[in-house]
Every structure is written in C-alpha cells, then in structure tokens.
C-alpha cells in the first residue's frame, strides 16, 4: 500500500503543472486507492465567484457541465464540506440520511448517479478559494471506513502543495494571455528575438507589415533582410545587441532601414536589447517595425480611451495621420467638409493641440513610445 501511495504522490505533482492530468489523479484515487465509483476535485473561486471541477472520474459529462453552469449551488455536500476543518477527511453524506432533508439534491444528483456515500476533505478553505475532494460509493457499496478517511488525510499535504502550484501556473498563463492580447493590439510591428536569434513572438501588425513590404522576412525562424548587404548589417546589429552589456544604454538601441525592389520607401527597424537582469549573459531583443507606406494601425478604441474622443472623432484622427486631407476624409465618411473641420476642432481641444500637424506628431510619437 505504501509503495502505491508513493507512486500516486508523483501523479499528484505531475498534475500541478499539467492540468489535464487531474482526471487521471482522480481516477487513480477512486479505482486504486480508495475503491470509489466516482469522484471529483471541486473548486470554488470566491474572488471570481465561480465553481468548477478541475478533475473528475466516473461522472457523466452532463453532470460536470451542469455543475459549471449553475448546478453547483444545489450541491448540498459541498455546503456541508465548507464547514469541515481543512485537511481532515471524513464521510459526510449518507444518501438515505439526506433523502428527506434535501429531496431535490437526492433526486437530482444522488439517486440518478447512484451515489450512496460521500467521503470528502477540504484542501483549501479561505477568502481566496475553497477546494475540496469528494469521493462517491454506490448505494449497494459499504460506507467509507475510518481507515479510508485516514488514507485520504495522509494525502492532504501533497494535494495542498500541488493545487497551489496549479493555481500559480493558471495565473501565469492568464497573465501571458493578457500580455499577448495587448501585444496583438500594438499599433506598430513588434518582433521579439531570443538569445539565439530566433523569433519567439511577433504581433499581427508585424506579420502584416512584413507581408506587405517584403524588405524583412523570416528565414528558419530568424529575421532576414531582402538584400544581402542589408541582411549582413541586420545580423551584425542583432548579434552585437544581444551581447551588449545591459548597463550600457548607449549601445543597446540601433536602427536600420531595409528595402525591397517593389517598394519605394524603406521599412524602418528600431532594435532595442531587452537584456538580462542577472549577469552578462545574452538576453533578448525587440524589433519595432514601421512602414511609411502603411496605414497607422492604432485602434480607434485606444484614442477614445486616451483622449475621450467619440468613435467618429477617433476615425478622423487616424485618417489624418494616414495622410488624408479633410476633403478626402469627408468623402470617405460621407459627411461634409464642415463636419470634418468641426470634428477636428473637437480633437484639437481634447488632445491639447492647435493644428493638424500636432495631431500627427502626437499620435506618431505615441506609437513610438508604445
């Protein structure tokens, strides 16, 4: 038994960084450790006000889905469990005992899923979240014994640590998704290169600029200029910046223009070493791409947020930066020139500027700062 428990502990920690493994953990706990017909790890996120199962075995998919979408509030067992001490397992439900006191729960959950006995343990129960494990036996099975509960209690510290790691990984993943979403709305092209020179990230604007201009592309996952001499300069700069001292701000930013035979103007690349916070080893590099022939990719929603512009005013400002005159803007938007001029006056007031050139300068500098 001890050997199987030690092996099972390894399964628990594997699930901490591989969330898809929690189902396997619950299955092993049910089938090999405590002879249960079904079970689940229930999570109540008290900050997000949601309930879910992060791992389950033997429960129909419909039950798991219904639990996530509102059925959880009828879970009498989880309510009982919330009053249990953390880290101490016990049998908390005998279906026949709750049949009269909670008929809805009995008819909706226990009876149709043949759940006669439930053993449970709280892993966490604080202001942040409530995490519990519930294991089920059928009406025809024997109740959970004191030894069964001691075994579950013995596993508590490992579930406690693994679920905390799981939560931190989830938070990091959520932050990463938020960062990628923000970068995808970046108004200029952004390419991130790692210490080996490989591209690890490029936002949609960079993909569009590279596809439209052709002066810069990817070759074997690395940035490559169209002309050989420019590519040689590009690779030299990248290598130098990746090796630069993070404290030497004078040598950590360089610029380069790359050309393509089909484009009149060059694509501008500003390269900035992101460095490494510990020691002289190489860090990573950001390439900021801009193409004078391409439209400004600033979302109208950003101008509405930054300067309290109306949607129409934001569109006028963007059109202005993209080289359109008030007459062209009026034709594009189907309004009179006087209307456009009135919108421009409102834009000037909200941005604290006095003329069209100031609007262009401020918005372009906003893009460079971004």
Q: What is the pLDDT of residues 256-292, one digit of tens each?
A: 889 999 888 888 888 888 855 444 445 788 898 877 6
For residue 268, the enclosing domain spans 187-290
- Residue 50 and residue 144 share a domain: yes
pLDDT of residue 234: 95
The crossing angle, in degrees rounded to 10, of helices 326-333 and 337-351 is: 110
CATH number of the domain bearing residue 325: 1.10.10.10
- Residue 172 and residue 42 share a domain: yes
* 322 vs 304: CA distance, rounded Å: 18
- Residue 22 and residue 124 share a domain: yes
Assess if residue 318 is contained within a domain: yes
- Residue 118 and residue 55 share a domain: yes
- Residue 123 and residue 29 share a domain: yes
Assess if residue 208 is contained within a domain: yes
- Residue 264 and residue 139 share a domain: no
- The last residue of a domain, from among 145, 178, 211: 178
Number of residues that make up the chain: 370
Per-residue model confidence as pLDDT tens for the chain (370 residues): 667 788 899 999 999 888 889 999 999 999 999 999 999 998 888 877 777 888 999 987 766 666 665 555 556 666 777 788 999 999 887 877 778 777 877 887 788 888 889 899 999 998 888 899 999 999 999 999 999 999 999 999 999 999 999 888 877 776 666 656 555 555 578 899 998 999 999 888 888 889 888 899 999 999 999 999 999 999 999 998 888 765 554 446 788 889 999 888 888 888 888 855 444 445 788 898 877 666 655 667 777 877 889 989 988 988 887 778 888 889 878 899 999 999 999 999 998 888 888 887 777 655 433 4
- Give the 3-state secondary structure percentages of the chain, helix then strand then coil, rounded to 5: 50, 20, 30
Assess if residue 69 is contained within a domain: yes
- The last residue of a domain, from among 267, 290, 313: 290
Assess if residue 295 is contained within a domain: no
Q: Compute CA distances 304 → 170, 312, 344, 363, whole Å.
A: 32, 10, 14, 13
* Contact criterion met (CB below 8 Å) for 98 and 79: no
> Across all residues in the chain, what is the average pLDDT?
82
- Residue 236 and residue 316 share a domain: no
Based on the structure, what is the number of domains in the chain?
Answer: 3
* Contact criterion met (CB below 8 Å) for 163 and 129: no
Evaluate if pTM is beyond 0.95: no
- Residue 304 and residue 267 share a domain: no
- Residue 128 and residue 87 share a domain: yes
- Residue 136 and residue 193 share a domain: no
- Residue 22 and residue 91 share a domain: yes
- Residue 163 and residue 102 share a domain: yes
Assess if residue 216 is contained within a domain: yes
* Contact criterion met (CB below 8 Å) for 347 and 305: no
Residue partners of 315: CB distance under 8 A and separation at least 6:
300, 333
pLDDT, tens digit, for every residue of 302-321? 778 778 899 899 889 888 87
- The last residue of a domain, from among 260, 290, 320: 290
């Amino acid at each position: 038994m001890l050997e199987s428990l030690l092996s099972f502990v390894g399964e628990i920690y594997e699930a901490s960084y591989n969330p898809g493994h929690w189902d396997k953990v619950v299955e092993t706990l049910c089938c090999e450790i405590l002879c249960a017909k079904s079970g689940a790890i229930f999570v109540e996120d008290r900050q997000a006000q949601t309930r879910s199962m992060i791992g389950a075995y033997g429960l129909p998919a419909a039950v798991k889905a219904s639990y996530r979408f509102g059925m959880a509030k009828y879970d009498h067992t989880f309510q009982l469990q919330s009053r249990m001490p953390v880290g101490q397992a016990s049998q908390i439900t005998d279906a026949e005992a709750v049949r009269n006191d909670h008929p809805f729960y009995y008819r909706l959950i226990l009876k149709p899923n043949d759940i006669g006995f439930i053993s449970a343990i709280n892993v966490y129960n604080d202001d942040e979240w409530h995490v519990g494990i519930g294991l089920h036996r059928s009406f025809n099975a024997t109740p959970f014994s004191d030894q069964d509960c001691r075994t579950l209690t013995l596993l508590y510290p490992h579930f406690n640590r693994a679920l905390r790691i799981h939560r931190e990984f989830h938070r990091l993943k959520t932050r990463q998704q938020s960062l990628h979403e923000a970068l995808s709305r970046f108004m200029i092209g952004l390419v991130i290169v790692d210490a080996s020179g490989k591209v690890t990230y490029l936002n949609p604007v960079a993909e569009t600029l590279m596809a439209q201009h052709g002066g810069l592309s990817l070759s074997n996952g690395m940035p490559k200029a169209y002309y050989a001499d420019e590519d040689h300069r590009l690779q030299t700069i990248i290598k130098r910046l990746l090796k630069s001292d993070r404290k030497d701000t004078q040598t950590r930013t360089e610029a380069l223009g790359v050309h393509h035979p089909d484009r009149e103007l060059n694509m501008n690349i500003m390269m900035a070493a992101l460095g490494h916070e510990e020691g002289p080893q190489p860090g990573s590099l950001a390439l900021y791409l801009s193409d004078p022939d391409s439209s400004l990719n600033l979302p109208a929603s950003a101008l509405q947020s930054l300067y309290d512009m109306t949607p129409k005013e934001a569109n006028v400002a963007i059109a202005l930066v993209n080289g359109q005159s008030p007459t062209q803007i009026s034709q594009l938007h189907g309004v009179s020139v006087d209307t456009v001029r009135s919108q421009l006056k409102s834009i000037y007031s909200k941005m604290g500027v006095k003329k069209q050139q100031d609007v262009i300068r401020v918005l372009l500098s906003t893009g460079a700062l971004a």
